[in-house]
Amino acid sequence: MITGDGENIMANTRQNLEGNVSREREVEQIRKAARQFAMQYFHFCKTLYESFGHDRAKELVQKTVYELAEDRADQMRDNAICRGMPTDTADDFMTVIDLPFDGWIPEWGADHCPYAEVWRTYFDDYPWFKEFAPFYCDVIDTTTIEKFTHRLSHRITQNVITGGNSCLRNYYEDEKVKQGEYTYEVR
How many other C-beta atoms are found inside a 10 Å radius of the C-beta of residue 76?
A: 20
Residue 165 is given by DSSP the state: S
Mean pLDDT of all residues belonging to the chain: 91
Which neighbouring-strand residues pair with 170? 155
- What are the sequence ranges of the domains in the chain? 22-178
CATH fold of the domain at 22-178: Muramoyl-pentapeptide Carboxypeptidase; domain 2 (3.30.1380)
* Angle, alpha carbons 114-120-125 (nearest 5°): 140
pLDDT in tens, 9-26: 555 555 666 778 898 999
Among left, alpha and beta (phi > 0; psi -120 to 50; other), residue 2 is beta
pTM for this prediction? 0.87
pLDDT reading at 172 higher than 90: yes
pLDDT in tens, 24-64: 999 999 999 999 999 999 999 999 999 999 999 999 999 99
pLDDT reported for residue 168:
92
Distance CA(95)–CA(83), nearest Å, equals 11
Which residues lie below 8 Å from residue 132, measured CB to CB, with a gap of 6+? 45, 49, 57, 58, 61
pLDDT in tens, 127-163: 999 999 999 999 999 999 999 999 999 999 999 999 9
- C-alpha 75, offset from chain centre: 15
